[in-house]
Amino acid sequence: MIRAMYPILLQVGPVTIYSYGVMMALGFLVANWVVSKGLQSQGKDPEFSSTLVVWAAVGGLLGARVLFILDRLPEFFADPLSMIFTGAGFVWFGGLIGGVAGVTLCIWRHKMSWFEVMDAVAPSIALGHGIGRIGCHLAGDGDWGPPTTLPWGVAYTKAIIGWDYPPGVRVHPSALYETLAYTMIFAILWRYRSVPRATGSLFWGYLLLSSIARLLIEFVRINPPLAFGLSEAQVISVIFMIIGAIMLFKGRVATPATVMSPPLPRAARGK
């Protein structure tokens, strides 16, 4: 049984380094590398990845906070400044919507193909999300599930949210389940980026697969039901699953198969 979490990795005087922040930063750095490789495979400037990631980060953080506030409107109206400027409180699907909106604005400004760029971005979303969930696990931010007797159950005794279970109780480490699921999704998308496919299919495939994963993992997370016995995240997952499936089907029917291959070595170009 795992007991000790590490919400704080290092503290030197007034400077505190939090595990959640470190993993979030690592997620963005890895995402930047993945996007650069995706752009390079399309023959685009790989350095443009940093611009995309900045837009995604700004839009994602704003979107995640906005959905968090919308979920807690009575608390927001009672103390709006506290809700806005607190360091906690981010909702993933709000971050996804905001991040996609930010990247879309960036693509529009640079007059690029939305479908091609989103194909380059899609694997990075999965991998970055998986890394970020490790931060949730280390910090113990409440993303756990119900009690379990399974050998990998975790007691989040140092959780930043507050651990109110009695001694000896372990719960499902749902954040780690998400890390495993999104890493597998990344591997699938990374594999299929170099096979014949319709343009845009990587992003729609990501939307479909990640939504299925979240829908299922949410059954071992403690979140209140919103409708039909499903949580808010599950309702959004179902909507995104439908969108992803429809767009994948439309792409297969209407778009000729294309393949984005790695660029030729410098010596081989022009032959």
pLDDT tens track for 125-160: 999 999 999 988 988 888 889 999 999 999 988 887
Structural domain count of the chain:
1
Instruction: Read off the pTM.
Output: 0.84
Give the residue from 5, 180, 218, 212 showing the smallest Cα distance to 91. Answer: 218
The model's confidence at residue 86, banded by pLDDT at 50, 70 and 90, is low
- pLDDT per residue as tens digits for the range 245-267: 999 988 765 554 444 444 444 44
Strand residues in the chain grouped as ranges (E): 8-12, 15-18, 225-227, 230-231
pLDDT computed for residue 68 by the predictor: 76
For the record, the structure tokens of 263 come out as 């660029």
Q: Which residues pair with 118 in a beta bridge?
A: none
User: The domain containing residue 37 runs over which residues?
Assistant: 8-193
Q: Is residue 257 part of a domain?
A: no
Q: Which residue has the higher pLDDT, 161 or 200?
A: 200
Question: What number is the average pLDDT over the span 178-190?
Answer: 96
Q: Is residue 43 part of a domain?
A: yes
Q: Is residue 255 part of a domain?
A: no
Q: Is residue 222 part of a domain?
A: no
Cα 166 to Cα 149: distance, rounded to the nearest angstrom: 14
Give the residue from 59, 39, 63, 1 showing the smallest Cα distance to 122. Answer: 39
Q: Is residue 70 part of a domain?
A: yes
Q: Is residue 208 part of a domain?
A: no
The model's confidence at residue 89, banded by pLDDT at 50, 70 and 90, is low
Q: Is residue 228 part of a domain?
A: no
Q: Is residue 93 part of a domain?
A: yes
Which residues lie below 8 Å from residue 247, measured CB to CB, with a gap of 6+?
200, 204, 207
The model's confidence at residue 44, banded by pLDDT at 50, 70 and 90, is very high
Give the residue from 176, 175, 185 showing the smallest Cα distance to 212. Answer: 185
